[in-house]
């Protein structure tokens, strides 16, 4: 018997990604489209429908073989009723019960899940965390997305705030301001945005850094800072080493609370390579109990930008299996 396919959609503030995923977590197609968030959810539903049709067409799988739809979306959600509560990048969608509407349009059971949680579930199901039971994924970008998979389940939390680890306080006194309006959070130190901000601040003290010309040319980015660090620029080296430490502090907190098998780092920083990962590991060793650093895997994520829709599809698979049989199945 054919085990069926699942459609994963990943609704971000800028783009929607989607694809058909097989029963083992392998993506059969991968398509994307601009979100046009400012046009609001009614028009957005049409975009999602079009993208779903394109994803299924591109996969060569028949619609009748698509068993369920997983929809990852940014922000705080009420997954139980499929509603977006508060999404800073999709403000016009706040309060919108998107999953039941999409379920009707696509005529399939549709499950809403936070996008960062979906990415973590994707890595657990079919990526770097395939062999584990519990993992925490930090995705480093403009902000820091995070998802926790614990004993094979997404830790959604009781108010949709499970795994909001970008907003853990790591510096309570004199902390850097965070995008959320508070301060001292992991995101305020270790996101790409804050890495660049720290570089600009650093240039005031070290004006001879190579980063100065990047800045003047308007191309000061996370990748550029990593590149200059590899060339030995002292400011860039310091910034990267500090970033490794900040990420290690974040990892240490989840290792002393959730205590997963594996901590994963994803996002553009993966391009910095194994040297950066080694730096993070070195800092973690200083920060955690021996049992934690000896036994917890510290790795890069492996699914890249597809993790979100793959994980959303996997979550939908888990949800329909749960509905269909007595007890959970994965």
Q: Does 165 bind its own copies (CB under 8 A)?
A: yes
Our CB check for its own copies shows the closer of 21 and 262 to be 262
CA 95/CA 237 separation, integer angstroms: 44
From the list 38, 40, 70, 37, the residue with the least C-alpha distance to 52 is 70
- Least CB distance from residue 264 to its own copies, whole Å? 14
Q: Does 325 bind its own copies (CB under 8 A)?
A: no
Pick from 14, 24, 213, 291 the residue near its own copies by CB under 8 A: 291
Our CB check for its own copies shows the closer of 24 and 88 to be 88
Our CB check for its own copies shows the closer of 67 and 263 to be 263
Task: For the segment 269-288, give every residue that binds its own copies (CB under 8 A).
Answer: 286-287
From the list 167, 135, 94, the residue with the least C-alpha distance to 255 is 135
Pick from 15, 58, 89, 133 the residue near its own copies by CB under 8 A: 133
Cβ contacts of 245 within 8 Å, gap of 6 or more = 283
Task: For the segment 226-255, give every residue that binds its own copies (CB under 8 A).
Answer: 245-246, 249, 252-255
- Least CB distance from residue 210 to its own copies, whole Å? 26
Cβ contacts of 278 within 8 Å, gap of 6 or more = none
From the list 57, 123, 35, the residue with the least C-alpha distance to 310 is 123
Sheet holding 66-73, edge to edge: 31-34, 15-22, 5-11, 66-73, 110-114
Beta-sheet pairing, 83-86 with 110-114:
unpaired
Q: Does 162 bind its own copies (CB under 8 A)?
A: yes
Our CB check for its own copies shows the closer of 53 and 168 to be 168
Q: Does 168 bind its own copies (CB under 8 A)?
A: yes
The HSE-up count of residue 143 (CA atoms within 13 Å, CB side) is 19
* Residues near its own copies (CB under 8 A): 76, 85-86, 133-134, 148, 150-151, 153, 155-165, 167-174, 180, 182, 245-246, 249, 252-261, 286-287, 289, 291-292, 295-296, 327
């Amino acid at each position: 018997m054919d085990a069926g396919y699942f459609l994963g959609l990943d609704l971000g503030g800028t783009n929607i990604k989607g694809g058909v995923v097989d029963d083992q977590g392998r993506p059969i197609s991968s398509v994307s489209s601009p979100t046009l968030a400012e046009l609001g959810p009614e028009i957005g539903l049409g975009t999602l429908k079009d993208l779903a049709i394109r994803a299924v067409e591109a996969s060569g799988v028949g619609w009748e073989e698509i068993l369920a739809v997983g929809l990852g979306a940014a922000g705080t959600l009420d997954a139980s009723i499929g509603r977006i509560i508060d999404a800073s990048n999709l403000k016009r969608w706040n309060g919108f019960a998107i999953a039941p509407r999409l379920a009707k349009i696509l005529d399939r059971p549709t499950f809403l899940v936070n996008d960062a949680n979906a990415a973590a579930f994707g890595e657990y199901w079919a990526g770097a965390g395939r062999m584990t039971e519990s993992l925490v994924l930090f995705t480093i970008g403009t902000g820091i997305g995070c998802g926790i998979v614990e004993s094979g389940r997404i830790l959604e939390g009781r108010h949709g705030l499970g795994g909001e680890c970008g907003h853990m306080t790591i510096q309570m006194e004199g902390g850097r301001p965070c995008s959320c309006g508070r301060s001292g959070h992991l995101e305020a130190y270790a996101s790409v945005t804050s890495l660049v901000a720290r570089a600009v601040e650093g240039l005031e003290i070290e004006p001879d850094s190579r980063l100065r010309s990047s800045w003047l040319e308007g191309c000061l980015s996370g990748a550029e800072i990593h590149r200059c660090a590899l060339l030995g620029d002292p400011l860039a080296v310091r910034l990267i080493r500090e970033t490794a430490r900040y990420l290690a502090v974040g990892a240490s907190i989840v290792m002393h609370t959730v205590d997963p098998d594996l901590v994963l780092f994803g996002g553009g920083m993966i391009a910095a390579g194994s040297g950066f990962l080694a730096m993070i590991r070195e800092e973690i060793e200083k920060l955690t109990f021996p049992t934690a650093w000896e036994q917890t895997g510290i790795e890069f994520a492996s699914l890249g930008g597809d993790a979100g829709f793959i994980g959303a599809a996997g979550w939908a698979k888990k949800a329909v299996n749960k509905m269909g049989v007595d007890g959970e199945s994965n």
